[in-house]
Amino acid sequence: MWNQSSRCANFIIKRQPGLGGQAGLRRWLSAPRLCVVGGGPAGFYTAQHLLKHHDRAQVDIYEKLPVPFGLVRFGVAPDHPEVKNVINTFTQTARSERCSYYGNVAVGKDVTVGELQQAYHAVVLSYGAEDNRVLGIPGENLAGVHSARAFVGWYNGLPENQHLKPDLSCETALVLGHGNVALDVARILLSPLDLLRRTDITASSLAALACSKVKRVWLVGRRGPLQVAFTIKELREMINLPGARPVLDPADFTGLGNAVKDAPRPRKRLTELMIKTALEKPAEKTEAAAAREWGLRFQRSPQEVLPTADGTRARGVRMALTRLEGSGDSAKAVPTGEVEELECGLVLSSIGYRSLPLEPALPFDPQHGVIPNSSGRVLGAPGLYCSGWVKRGPTGVIITTMNDSFDTAQSVLEDLQAGVLDVSAPREGFGAVGSILRSRGVRPVSFSDWEKIDAVEVARGKAAGKPREKIVDPEEMLQVIGH
């Protein structure tokens, strides 16, 4: 087992007689060149652990976009700036003399995984979940229906979502899903503008929200209150949102007080807060002040997005009412045969993210949307590893990704120590990859280039009274750094 507390390679070798004398010593002391694909939390945490626990490892991080940090930049809600503080840790990692960042490089297109494997002793795939799960129901492609992932990308400045133009001219929006992302999008839709103006939300989405007519958001789930996936912090934030009133039906919570007595504490507290909110009678003054409202609807499964008379837009969703079979997290929602229609002009589907294969030849499990692996070691592909959502599926928070990425990095370190990864022959790393990219007309963006983009964004934000004003066009990002 890799000894994390030992800083001296010679000490570890003495403890490992199987390393093969001087040949083993040379192999261990030659500098491993390691490559991480993906500049989000999983990629940076993997790099951080490798650099911290191997004094000679050199790690190169490749990212498709010019800008780093993945979901910390593009997924975290703009009114949650404290979650973005991990960027400071990632910046320290990127500034290490043994770490290099290469943005604006699409692995699988600009350079293949096979070419990376020729240039590095090990390659870790940490590129996350770049797609969303589909509903698979009629009307899903009507105007007014979007994935929550695309909506989040729109207000957070993800380049691929900047032309989304969600229709905010309706009064009622429907969010399908009961997770934290569902609460995020509902909160952004109903937040007072003066709160949003002080965040790093994009200028264009802020302008669109300023004209929004949405005053009611229903969050709909297939299962019951005991199966919601959001956490108490996000629920409390939603309940306390200024100018918005929670509408929860007490009948949905009948008998649940007893059912959660023996539940784990987080589930118990969450359910108790929902029950308390459902039973509370809002003061008249508060109710009058709350021009907007939101609510949770349970045991409803979407069957069809209903079109307007001209067949072009969404006007509502037909729901199958469900009953639960089983209990707790494993409870299944089964249609009862009854249906109801909910009117709305905007439908946001928040039923999960999905990873995609980088290249057709790479091992990939399409059913679960992950790369088949054992502790991050890609099955059937020696020297190839994975971490983050593409390893375990799109679940958990940043700390989950951190622990998961450390676990994968540990597997790489163990394989280096055991000689599974042969580092006796040096690899060229970016020396080889850079030549390939030049020949294909690709100009990578360095971390110091990113810091120039960062400085421009912060300066523009300061002028507008915001933490930053994100540049949303990759071409403009490249212009800023003189590419």
Q: Domains in the chain and their CATH numbers?
A: 9-130+355-445 (3.40.50.720), 133-144+168-198+210-349 (3.50.50.60)
Taken as a whole, the chain contains a residue count of: 483
- SS3 for 375-430 is CCEECCCCCEEECCHHHHCCCCCHHHHHHHHHHHHHHHHHHHHHCCCCCCCCCCCH
Q: Quick one: tokens of 15?
A: 């403890």
Within 10 Å of residue 243's Cβ, how many Cβ atoms?
A: 15
Q: Which pTM value belongs to this model?
A: 0.91
**Cα angle for residues 256, 260, 262 (degrees, 5° grid):** 150
**DSSP bridge pairs for 297:** 220
**Cα angle for residues 70, 71, 75 (degrees, 5° grid):** 140
Per-residue pLDDT of 37-92, as tens digits, reads: 999 999 999 999 999 999 999 999 999 999 999 999 999 999 999 999 999 999 99
Per-residue pLDDT of 417-457, as tens digits, reads: 999 999 999 999 999 999 999 999 999 999 999 999 999 99
Q: What is the pLDDT of residue 283?
A: 57
Q: Are 470 and 200 in contact (CB under 8 A)?
A: yes
Q: What is the pLDDT of residue 314?
A: 97
Q: What is the mean pLDDT of each run of 10 residues along the chain (483 residues)?
A: 34 34 48 97 98 97 98 96 95 98 98 98 94 89 96 97 96 97 98 96 97 98 96 97 96 90 93 95 56 96 97 96 91 96 97 90 93 97 97 90 97 97 95 98 98 98 96 97 90
User: Distance (Å, rounded) from C-alpha 237 to C-alpha 434?
Assistant: 47
Q: Are 237 and 187 in contact (CB under 8 A)?
A: yes
Strand bridging mode 292-297 / 216-220: parallel
**DSSP bridge pairs for 341:** 318
CA-CA-CA-CA torsion sign (160, 151, 155, 102): negative
From 128, 111, 80, select the one nearest 394 (Cα to Cα): 128
